[in-house]
Amino acid sequence: MLYWDHAATTPPYKEVVETMAEIMNQHYGNPSALHQAGEDAAKLLKRAREVCAGTLGVQSSEIVFTSGATEGNNIAIKGVAMHYRSRGQHIITTKTEHPSVYECCRQLESLGWEITYIPVDEYGVVDPLQVASVIRKDTVLVSIMHVNNETGAVQPLNEIGKLVKEKNSRTLFHVDGVQGFGKLSVSLKDWKVDLYTLSAHKFKGPKGAGILYVQQGIKLFPLLAGGSQENGQRPGTENVASAVAVAKAMRLAQERQDTFYDKIGKLRSLLLNEIRSIPDFVLNSSEKGAPHIVHFSYPGLKPEVLVHTLEELGMLVSTKSACSSRNSEPSRVLQAMGKDKEIAASGIRISMGWEHTDDDMNRLVIALRQSADKLRPLSAKRG
């Protein structure tokens, strides 16, 4: 079987798994404890925080370890909304955010916040000027993702960050960086980002682990009440093994980013061309997207049929994103890009990882062609 679902999750690095096992076996102390075992764990946690901070070019006091990006996005958005409530209750986001941002905004909306959902163009990209045009005095937060998890569309964060701060220097800028880190370069300072979310399992780290960067001086209303761990932002006994593994995976991902971009970018270009040449498929990803994600539709066919046909041929791909693959609604992201319901309901995502070779791509392309031929008679449009 060839695994083509790296945007859903990645197989962890061997070193990451070994490190976790070693720490769980040998350094199991509670970092808050005053004895030797506690101090030992606290040191490991401190070092892990420094490595994560170093990777992003920020201070280690600005890193909060989380259980992943769903939690990170919720802590960031609700934490800002609630803490800065008296300053204003207006938030800006886009129509194509991951559910952990989108639904979070919807919840706040139901509680009285005003949310502006910025549209995207046919390639899934927002216009920075449009973001700037809706910033007001009471806008407390702008939350925009780096790379879209369904289509791989990349947002112009540099321009957006600059315009946000020009329009209202007190408006905070949050970026869901999950699908961009390790694939594209990240510059929190240049983008003027105040809060940044990552999830380790998207770059070969452990599942249920991530970080949230919170710029010095920003206050968040803590969603969980409890102890003072993680600067009080995220109480609960720290998962030291996971924090060390996140740090290791972050460092490896960053070191290998350029090679990833070159190697996987080439495979992606090849795949884009092949998909364009198969008449049944409609390509939804643009040339300018992130190097690891290709999204297309087979209009007239339920996407799960193509997923299962490809699986029989040894290729594991997904419909939409993992978080919404079990709901059969047309994709909100594709509809926001102006795609009709048929296209939006028949999307397939292929996402690549480090391990893939030219030979793997050749095998995938053959399987795609065979599947298209086999399923043509079933496709409602043609059949």
The residues assigned a catalytic role are 323
Q: How far is the CB of 311 from ligand PMP (least distance, A)?
A: 20
Residue 210 binds ligand PMP, judged by CB under 6 A: yes
Alpha-carbon torsion (331, 335, 341, 342), positive or negative: negative
Listed ranges 50-58, 130-138, 278-286, 321-329: which one lies at the site for ligand PMP (CB under 6 A): 321-329
DSSP labels for 37-70?
Answer: HHHHHHHHHHHHHHHHHHHHTS-GGGEEEES-HH
Angstrom CA distances, 75 to 70, 220, 344, 369, stand at 9, 8, 30, 44
For residues 210 and 291, which CB has a smaller minimum distance to ligand PMP in the complex?
210
Residue 218 binds ligand PMP, judged by CB under 6 A: no
* Binding to ligand PMP, residues 32-91 (CB under 6 A): 68-70
* The one among 145, 193, 250, 267 contacting ligand PMP by CB under 6 A: 145
For residues 199 and 239, which CB has a smaller minimum distance to ligand PMP in the complex?
199
Contacts of 284 (CB under 8 A, 6+ apart): 151, 295, 296, 297, 334, 337, 339, 343, 347
Q: How far is CA 372 from the centre of its chain?
A: 30
For residues 239 and 309, which CB has a smaller minimum distance to ligand PMP in the complex?
239
For residues 37 and 322, which CB has a smaller minimum distance to ligand PMP in the complex?
322
* The one among 10, 297, 321, 379 contacting ligand PMP by CB under 6 A: 321
Residue 323 binds ligand PMP, judged by CB under 6 A: yes
Residue 98 binds ligand PMP, judged by CB under 6 A: yes
Residue 352 binds ligand PMP, judged by CB under 6 A: no
Angstrom CA distances, 156 to 147, 201, 344, stand at 10, 24, 24
Residue 149 binds ligand PMP, judged by CB under 6 A: yes
Q: Over 210-253, what HEC string results?
A: EEEEECCCCCCCCCCCCCCHHHHCCCCCCCHHHHHHHHHHHHHH
Residue 152 binds ligand PMP, judged by CB under 6 A: no
Fill in the amino acid letter for 119.
P
For residues 6 and 132, which CB has a smaller minimum distance to ligand PMP in the complex?
6
Residue 317 phi, psi (nearest 5): -125, 180
Q: Which residue is nearest to ligand PMP (CB)?
A: 68
CB 103 within 8 A of CB 95: no
Residue 233 binds ligand PMP, judged by CB under 6 A: no
* The one among 178, 264, 317, 336 contacting ligand PMP by CB under 6 A: 178
> Which of left, alpha, beta for 236 (phi over 0: left; psi -120 to 50: alpha)?
left
Report the interface residues with ligand PMP, using CB under 6 A. Answer: 68-70, 98, 100, 145, 149, 176, 178-179, 199, 210, 321-323
